[in-house]
Structure 1
Amino acid sequence: MPITRAKSIDALYEECKGFDLVLVPDAPMASALNRRLDRPHFGPFAITPRRLAAQRREQDEYRLSFLESIESTDLDWKEASHAVGNIHQCWEYQGTAESILEYELFRTAATRTVVNCVSESDTTLRRLTEYTIDADTSVAVVGLTQLTALERSILPPDYETIDPFADETFDYPPFRVFDSPAAIVDAVLDTVTQENADDVGVVLDAASQYSSLIESAFEAAGIPYHGGPGFDDLPHHRTFLQLLRSAHAGRETRISDVRPLLTRFGKSIDIEHDEKRLYDSDQQAANWLLELHDEVRTGTFSAALDAYESAADTVLDAFRDELSTLGLLTDPVTEEAVDRLEFYVQTYDIPVDHGNEGVLLADAKSAAHVDRPVVFYLGLDEGWTHSPPRRPWVDRDREFERNIQQFQLLLQNGIDQYYLVQDTAGGTPVTPCLYFEELFDETFERFSDLDSVPHSRAFRTTADGFAKEPLDIAAAEVTTISQSSLNTYVNSPRDYFFSRLLDTPDKDYFREGNLLHDFAEYYVAHPESVTDETLAEVAEIILDEVDPFLRGVDREVRHTKYRLGLQTIVEFLDTNPPHGDEFVAGNDGWGRNFFAEYYDRPIDTPHTERWFENSDLGLKGKIDLVHDSTHLLDYKSGSKKSAHSIVKHSALDPPSDKPNFQALLYLAHQRTVQPDQELQFTFFHFLETLDDIVAGEASLDDCLTTVTYYPHTFAEYVATEAVFNELKSEAANDCNKTFSKTEYEEYRAIFETHELPQTRDSDELIDSEFGHALTARMKENVGDYKYVKNGCKQALRHVLRIRNKNYFADDVDAFEQFVQERLEELNARRAGDERFPVGGLGGDPNYRYVDNRDCILEEESR
């Protein structure tokens, strides 16, 4: 069915003006009709049944009945609230408070208790139940189907009904599709000013992000509005509740948990402390908050409110009145009492005086009429769909019809309507409000499938001078890149971009890793100063430094981990001391060393923490240990990786889903200062053998992973006699047997007539021309035996295993070119030639390795 056109207020008034009394389903429509009265009228003219019966403004009857119940009964607050909600709802649909007792499932002692309580209270529901309209009053009802059974019960025997809909369809305006909620809010601000605010209405889902965004935008622009945030959404009210809750949060509370609270009080703590426990922080702001927590936790709600008002320099009279109403003002601030208070403010609409000037903000699920010339509709998504109560007294089909009629009326408010929507959010299509499925004949899944107009985000010039203006400033060029930045950039350029803008909190594994690295550097410089007692002391020092990040139950396990890790580092360095008096791969040591400062001993060694910056290659980094001029080592506190895994995840075309170029990058630099040399890079996973140490079975070899760089291309290296000898003695049995029966010259000759393919797939290599030529040559020289054919396959697989565990000159050449291409690309994006895409060269990023996930929208993958 199409959208049926709603009659204008002027047209409705013309039909209604001859009646003594006009009943309407909602207060905004009543007010609009009353504003059009053109003659004196005694008593109410247009009015809702509830206001007519109660002779007062409509109130939240659920809340008032709940307050009456907790004051008059001994029921638990949640139990009372549940009973009140069911009773009121059934009362609306069936006409009496006692009607709920007709349903066996709801015939409980708590329900009976609350029925007795609320049926005697002076509520609008009770007044509606008892009210009747004089029979001699001429009555018109606009939208009879929109009234509940209880509201219809006050009607006299004779009345006229007026249909709010005309006999024609409504040609709805196009959906204006924007990239984001912020862009939608910007579009509203392009139109609304302080001068025209009284002519504008905004309809939105009050529970959506649009509510807070539009309110913040209006406040920032100085545009008045009303109908905004509820009692619990007011900033000071929300912050006071956060203070009460955080005061009982316990010793595991992190700085990040209370950061919004501290910000509200104007206190700041650097983001690097976010992961630390509040109770173990040495920050002044943290100590201030802990003192406030003590004051709140040990006093009454009244005293807690006094403390908050003093700290925030404000007065919360409305909150104080509400605490008094609840009987909590003089109660101690226990965790249970805070639970009850939080439940209350989140469940009920507590009256808030918003005034009545400026833009009218209307909740899409509450109102059907917005009497403003210009109305913006924000979102129009599935959040606008009502969920009919699943109760036996509710006719769900009739409720759906009632809601869809209200939705049609809502869509047509004002002279000009603007439907502002998103097509996608987080990479997923936004589902339009489900009522559109009933109203439109066409098939659709998203707003762009309907009559729509795409809008790109506009940049506005405001009274404060905010505008997008070109700046004649050249972007600083990036000339070198570290392995960690390159890893991030290849996985997600957008994540790299945000990593340059945003600070990140320190983590326990960062802190412990740095301290263990510092000890390793200190030990290389001062091995004679370290004893068993020193190791025990160092383990305690590391534990104390990391402790603010840990749970209390983690301390003992971490202490064992640090002590054994330190022992492994000492054992390795004693067994494999670095040698050579000069390090030619970089300049001075990098940064401060915790233990050098703690023990007041300088670090003066050419082997540790060596920083390099190679502008020719565009590379920079810090090498943990230079074992000798051809052997570099990096300490790792994480899990051990195999050489095959290291090489695999440094792939270039395409990149791995877990890119890691550390070894390849450092070897690329090192070969420039040690040309034509075989180089090694070792990862020392000093925590890998903790379990084995406890069992007395540890081996240092189990901690080490080494990749080797050969100063030849892969094809040149495979053609060497050294590889031929491996095939004779170190490969699989048939391979050893085959190549032991031929000479190196026969093997070498194959490389002179056939090119070794650039593949890392063994089946592809075996089936290549080179693979066929090798097999044919061996058959000719050894014999056409089954083991020869199998031995050649084993030889080719062995050759690829060599490639997949090491680096060769052509690998490093390709990497150097890859780095130059990334730097050119990076600098072009920094200059504004294009945006930093979310996805890297390998497609969508691996989000496990994205640090700034909250800043990235998935749909912008390229």
Structure 2
Amino acid sequence: MSITRAKSIDSLYEECKDFDLVLVPDAPMASALNRRLDQPHFGPFAITPRRLAARRREQAEDRLAFLELIQTADLNWKEASHAVGNILQCWEYQGTANAVLDYEQFATTATHTAVDCIGEMDTTSKRLTEYTIDADTSVAVVGFKQLTELERSILPSDYETVDPFTEESFNYPPFRILDSPAAIVDAVLHTVTPENANDVAVVLDAASQYSSLIESALEAADIPYYGGPGFTDNSSHRAFLQLLRHAHAGRDTRVGDVRPLLVQLGLVVDIEHDEKRLRDLDVPEIEWLLEFSADIEAHTLASALDKFETVTGSSLDAFREELERLGIQDDIVTEQAVDRLEFYLQSYEVPIDRENDGVLLADAKSAAYVGRPVVFYLGLDEDWTHSSPRRPWVDRDQEYERNIRQFQLLLQNGVDQYYLVQDTAGGTPVTPCLYFEEILDEEFERFSDLDSIQHSRAARTTHDGFGKESIDVAAEKVTAFSQSSLNTYVNSPRDYFFSRLLETPDKDYFREGNLFHDFAEFYVTHPDVIRSDDLDEIAEVILDDVDPFLRGVDREVRLTKYRIGLQTVVEFLDANPPADGSFLTPASGWGTNFFAEYYDRPVDAPHTERWFENTDLGLKGKVDLVYGPTHLLDYKSGTKKSATSIVKHSALDPPSDKPNFQALLYLTQHRTEYLGEELQFTFFHFLETLDDVVTGDGNLDDCLTTVTYHPVAFEEHIASRNVFTELQEDAASNCNKTFSKAEYEEYRAVLDAHAFPDTQDSDELIDSGFGQALTDRMIDRVGDYKYVTSGCKQALRHLIRIRNRNYFTDDIDAFEGFVQERLEELNARRAGDERFPVAGLTEEPNYRYVDNRDCILEEGTR
């Protein structure tokens, strides 16, 4: 089938104008028909059944019934709400108030109580049940199938039905595909002005992100609208509820958890404090908030509201009236009271007075008729599909037919319709509303499979027709990567982009790491100042500084951790004192040092916290400790990594899924100072032996991982006599036994005759031509024994370990070229030549290492 064309309002009026009364399924259609009356009409002409019976605007009777029930019956709020919902819904579908009691599983004591209460109320449903239309009134019913059983119950025995559809098909407009919800909202604002706002309607799923986006955009553009935010959307109402909830959150509440509340209260707090406890924030303006939370159960809901109004200078009269309707204004602000209040506001829409002026925001799941000449439809995705009630009194087939007819009517509103959609979101196709499967003849999975137009996001223009002024400013070039920025860029250029734009909160592990680094730097300069007995005091100092990030229960564990970490640093530096640094130029006083200020002593050692920036290489960084002329050291508080892991994750082609170029980057820089020298880089994981120290088994060697740079190519290195000696003495036993019976020249001959394969896998090496040649040579020299074959395999594995645990000249050379390529690429993107893609040199980034995850969509634009 296809979308069935709906009759125009003029056509419907022509069919209905001679009737005394015209019943329609929704109020906007009734208003449109009434506006076409060309002569006086006694009494209502076009009207909904509920409006006819009640002689008043339709009210949310579920809320009114709930309010009555909790005042007159001893039921908890959720139980009362559940009973009210079942009763009114069953009444709508079955036509009588007590029909729900015919279903045994729903005929609970609470339901019986609620039926008795609601049956006595003056509800619209009750008036509808009792209402009858005079037999001599000529009645036309537009969209009979759209009416429920209760609405049909008022019809006289004689009436005429008018089908709102023709027998023709509706040629729907193309789906206009845009990149994002923001682009869709921009497209609407590109058309709407304050002058034409009354001619425009926007249809959307009220629960979707489009709702808040379009409301914010219209407000920012000073374009009037109505039909949008409700009672609970009021920012002051939300802030008050957040205040009540926060007051019960406990002493460990983080700044980030209550940031929306702080913003609403006008308190500006830097994002760096988000991970800290609110009570540790040194901001005088929040003192009242802390005091309020401490004394929360001394407040009633009414007095808490008074306090909020006083502090914020706002007036929440409507909220106070609602508390009084609920009868809870004098209730103490317990967690249970807050839970009940939030449940009520989430379950029922509190009516508010609206100005019916401006752009009409219509919910896609409500009325089928929108009386505006220009209608925008936003999203049209699967969330537009109605969820039919799963109750035994609901005929699901009939409900589905009612919904799909309403959907077809909805799609045809206005003179001009614009279907604005996304084709993908979060890297997956957007599923069109499921009703399209029923009403379209075409096969499709996404909007682009249908008649559609792809739109790129255009630059916004002002309503006077002028675009934004182009400013020709060249982007400042990036001349060097730090190791952290290179890691981020290679994993996800988009994440790198956002990391330059956005502030991030300070973390406990950042603070801990910085304090340990400062202590190590201070101890290298002043080992005589720190005594063993001082470590307890220093651990307390670190704990006090990190304390705002911690839960109360974490303090003792962290104190032990800090004490052992400090002890490990001291033991290592005492046992392995670094060179005196006389081979270095004086340090430039990089940064500040917490313990230098604490002990009021300068930190001026030239070999600690050594900053470099080499724009020729495109590299910059800070070396924790120049341990010796050819040896660098970095302190790490995280989990120890092996040399194999360090080399593996600094791979270039392709990069690792956990890129980390720190050792390679620092060795590349250090090579420029000690060309032709063997260099070492050691990671000192000073917390690695934490558990062992507690049990008395700590070993400093377990904290160290060293990678070595050999100033030769890999093949030249393994062809050396030193490596041959390793095979004779330091490798596995069968390898030692085999190669001890061979001569160096025989080993070297194999390397000269056969190229070492480009692999880091030992099994591949063993199966390669090189591996077979080495094995054959050793068998010829030593004999065809099992231990010789085994020993050759051990030798080949030893060579692969050398490859996988060290760096060589070809690695450093390749890295220098890699950095220059990334800098050229980065600066081209900064200049606007292309977008920063989500993924870099791999198919997708490793999202575990993406810092700005909420800013990145997993989409196809990479």
TM-score range, shorter chain: over 0.9
Q: What is the alpha-carbon distance in structure 2 between the residues aligned to residue 767 and residue 294 of structure 1?
A: 72
Q: What is the alpha-carbon distance in structure 2 between the residues aligned to residue 95 and residue 586 of structure 1?
A: 92
Runs of 4+ that moved beyond 6 A: none
Q: What is the alpha-carbon distance in structure 1 between the residues aligned to residue 320 and residue 679 of structure 2?
A: 74
CA contact (8 A) 2:584 2:606 kept: no
1:822 match? 822
- Which stretch of structure 1 is more off in the superposition, 791-800 or 491-500? 791-800
Helix, strand or coil for the counterpart of 1:97?
A: coil
2:612 match? 612
Q: What is the alpha-carbon distance in structure 1 between the residues aligned to residue 98 and residue 736 of structure 2?
A: 94
The aligned amino acid for 2:411 is L
CA contact (8 A) 1:83 1:111 kept: yes
Deviation at 1:285, TM superposition (A): 4.2
The aligned amino acid for 1:146 is Q
1:24 match? 24
1:843 match? 843
Q: What is the alpha-carbon distance in structure 2 between the residues aligned to residue 363 and residue 297 of structure 1?
A: 40
Deviations 1:818-849 (A, max 9, x none): 11111111111111111111101122000000
Q: What is the alpha-carbon distance in structure 1 between the residues aligned to residue 287 and residue 511 of structure 2?
A: 22
- Which stretch of structure 1 is more off in the superposition, 734-743 or 802-811? 734-743
Deviations 1:477-530 (A, max 9, x none): 111111011111110111111111111000111111111111111111121121
Q: What is the alpha-carbon distance in structure 2 between the residues aligned to residue 564 and residue 464 of structure 1?
A: 68
1:567 match? 567
Deviation at 1:469, TM superposition (A): 4.1
The aligned amino acid for 2:275 is E
- In the alignment, structure 1 residue 266 sits paired with structure 2 residue 251: no
Q: What is the alpha-carbon distance in structure 1 between the residues aligned to residue 379 and residue 590 of structure 2?
A: 53
Deviation at 1:465, TM superposition (A): 9.9
Q: How many residues align?
A: 862
CA contact (8 A) 1:24 1:143 kept: yes
Q: What is the alpha-carbon distance in structure 2 between the residues aligned to residue 661 and residue 227 of structure 1?
A: 55
Q: What is the alpha-carbon distance in structure 2 between the residues aligned to residue 470 and residue 587 of structure 1?
A: 45
Q: What is the alpha-carbon distance in structure 2 between the residues aligned to residue 253 and residue 632 of structure 1?
A: 41
**Which blocks of at least 5 consecutive residues in structure 2 are unaligned?**
none
Deviation at 1:439, TM superposition (A): 0.6
Deviation at 1:588, TM superposition (A): 2.4
Q: What is the alpha-carbon distance in structure 2 between the residues aligned to residue 300 and residue 13 of structure 1?
A: 56
- In the alignment, structure 1 residue 376 sits paired with structure 2 residue 372: no
CA contact (8 A) 1:295 1:307 kept: no
2:441 match? 441
CA contact (8 A) 2:190 2:461 kept: no
Deviation at 1:412, TM superposition (A): 0.7
Deviations 1:361-413 (A, max 9, x none): 11000110001111111111111111111111111111111111111111111
2:359 match? 359
Q: What is the alpha-carbon distance in structure 2 between the residues aligned to residue 220 and residue 55 of structure 1?
A: 39
**Which blocks of at least 5 consecutive residues in structure 1 are unaligned?**
none
2:138 match? 138
- Which stretch of structure 1 is more off in the superposition, 523-532 or 364-373? 523-532
Matches within 5 A, 1:70-469: 70-293=70-293, 298-462=298-462, 467-469=467-469
1:646 match? 646
CA contact (8 A) 2:585 2:606 kept: no
Q: What is the alpha-carbon distance in structure 1 between the residues aligned to residue 287 and residue 474 of structure 2?
A: 45
Helix, strand or coil for the counterpart of 1:203?
A: strand
CA contact (8 A) 2:652 2:818 kept: yes
Matches within 5 A, 1:38-53: 38-53=38-53
Deviations 1:537-589 (A, max 9, x none): 11111111111111111111111111111111111111111123325388424
CA contact (8 A) 2:581 2:606 kept: yes
CA contact (8 A) 2:69 2:80 kept: yes
Helix, strand or coil for the counterpart of 1:532?
A: coil
Helix, strand or coil for the counterpart of 2:242?
A: helix
1:719 match? 719
CA contact (8 A) 1:584 1:673 kept: no
Q: What is the alpha-carbon distance in structure 2 between the residues aligned to residue 714 and residue 66 of structure 1?
A: 80
Deviation at 1:754, TM superposition (A): 3.1
CA contact (8 A) 2:584 2:607 kept: no
CA contact (8 A) 2:226 2:361 kept: yes
CA contact (8 A) 2:462 2:468 kept: no
The aligned amino acid for 1:676 is G
Deviation at 1:296, TM superposition (A): 5.9
Matches within 5 A, 1:622-641: 622-641=622-641
2:534 match? 534
Helix, strand or coil for the counterpart of 1:528?
A: coil
1:501 match? 501
CA contact (8 A) 1:782 1:788 kept: yes
Deviation at 1:616, TM superposition (A): 2.1
CA contact (8 A) 2:668 2:812 kept: yes
Q: What is the alpha-carbon distance in structure 1 between the residues aligned to residue 179 and residue 687 of structure 2?
A: 47
Helix, strand or coil for the counterpart of 2:528?
A: helix
The aligned amino acid for 2:354 is H
Q: What is the alpha-carbon distance in structure 1 between the residues aligned to residue 378 and residue 581 of structure 2?
A: 70
Deviation at 1:306, TM superposition (A): 2.3
2:749 match? 749
Across the aligned residues of Structure 1 and Structure 2, the Cα RMSD in angstroms comes to: 1.6
Helix, strand or coil for the counterpart of 2:190?
A: helix
- In the alignment, structure 1 residue 474 sits paired with structure 2 residue 470: no
Matches within 5 A, 1:668-707: 668-707=668-707
* TM-score under structure 1 length normalisation: 0.98
Deviation at 1:850, TM superposition (A): 0.3
2:603 match? 603
Deviations 1:296-322 (A, max 9, x none): 653222222222223332222211211
- Which stretch of structure 1 is more off in the superposition, 662-671 or 760-769? 760-769
Q: What is the alpha-carbon distance in structure 2 between the residues aligned to residue 605 and residue 668 of structure 1?
A: 23
Q: What is the alpha-carbon distance in structure 2 between the residues aligned to residue 251 and residue 314 of structure 1?
A: 27
Identity value in percent: 74
- Which stretch of structure 1 is more off in the superposition, 574-583 or 93-102? 574-583
Q: What is the alpha-carbon distance in structure 2 between the residues aligned to residue 466 and residue 527 of structure 1?
A: 68
CA contact (8 A) 2:630 2:677 kept: yes
Q: What is the alpha-carbon distance in structure 1 between the residues aligned to residue 678 and residue 717 of structure 2?
A: 12
